[in-house]
Amino acid sequence: MKSMNLQLLYTLYNLALVVVISVAKIKTGPLLHFAQANSLLVMYGVASAYLLCGSDQVWGVYHNYLSLFNSNNTKILYVIVDIVTHILPVLVLGLPMDNWMFIPAYACLATWYILVRDRIHELYMDQPKNKYDTIVFVYIPLMVLLGILLRCL
């Protein structure tokens, strides 16, 4: 089980931020806008992982962290975990109100990635680093740009 690496998961930092905003009932301001953009980046990253690596690879990550829950319904558990950790934050906070907040949110994500890049296969899937590079430096920025362009139409 990879529980020792849990403290390095970017998703958990994002979830902590979402909880703080929700508990403090923050309804506006830069922290909320940052968290909205950050949550969407996390969701884009996971969506990119599904597209690039497939669901079996992504669910393998969940299996490593959730191996205590050894049941016949593990795929259902993985879907629930995926929804709660990657989609629910966007639904709770809403879509980003300020497109400029993607800049600091992406800077945080990219900085985190650069810091953990040498250990990324220990945290997530056992994939070549270039796949992770593609997700972080190509797919996520493209999805952000596409989202901004679609809002302008």
Task: Please answer whether residues 110 and 45 qualify as being in contact, where contact means their C-beta atoms are separated by less than 8 angstroms.
Answer: no
Note the pTM of the prediction, 2 decimals: 0.90
Residue 18: alpha-carbon gap to chain centroid: 12
What are the pLDDT tens digits along the chain (153 aa)?
454 577 889 999 999 999 999 999 999 999 999 999 999 999 999 999 999 999 888 887 877 777 655 666 677 888 888 999 999 999 999 999 899 999 999 999 999 999 999 999 888 888 899 999 999 999 999 999 999 898 887
The number of C-alpha atoms within 13 Å of 129 and in the hemisphere containing its C-beta is 7
pLDDT (0 to 100) of residue 69: 59
